[in-house]
């Protein structure tokens, strides 16, 4: 049995030095989504059920296309950071690294697909 003080147990297990940056990234993205989600709903909502030609004409205008693109990018980056925290809290070992890499790839792929779709509509 080892008699270690709390300080000795914590030695060598220093901070990861990413907690504050990660915290602020989540706060900034959630604040941005506070404004982007209602804007997206009010710009995207009227186009639900409309014919393809009308939707492409609508998203050819800069404001709806920019709002949709920003919403997609910020939402998936916020999703990536949030799921990363969940994985770090509940999964350990090699599986943690695999899941974090998979989630990062999935988030970037989904964001790129959304941006591509908006670009196809807008151009």
pLDDT of res. 92? 92
Where the chain has pLDDT below 50, the residues are none
pLDDT of res. 3? 72
Write down the pTM of the prediction.
0.83
pLDDT of res. 18? 66
pLDDT digits (tens, 9 = 90+) for 27-38: 999 999 999 999
Of all residues in the chain, what percent carry a pLDDT higher than 90? 79
Distance CA 80, CA 111 (A): 10
Q: Is the dihedral of CA 24, 28, 34, 40 positive or negative?
A: negative
* Domains of the chain (ranges, CATH numbers): 21-122 (1.20.1300)
87: tokens are 């994985």
pLDDT of res. 17? 63
């Amino acid at each position: 049995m080892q008699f270690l003080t709390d300080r000795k147990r914590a030695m060598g297990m220093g901070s990861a030095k990413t907690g504050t940056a990660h915290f602020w990234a989540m706060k900034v993205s959630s604040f941005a989504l506070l404004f982007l989600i209602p804007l997206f709903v009010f710009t995207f909502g009227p186009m639900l059920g409309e014919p393809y030609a009308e939707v492409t004409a609508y998203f050819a205008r800069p404001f709806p296309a920019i709002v949709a693109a920003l919403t997609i990018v910020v939402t998936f980056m916020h999703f990536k950071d949030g799921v990363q925290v969940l994985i770090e809290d509940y999964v350990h070992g090699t599986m943690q690294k695999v899941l974090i890499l998979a989630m990062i790839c999935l988030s970037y792929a989904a964001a790129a697909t959304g941006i591509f779709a908006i670009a196809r509509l807008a151009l």
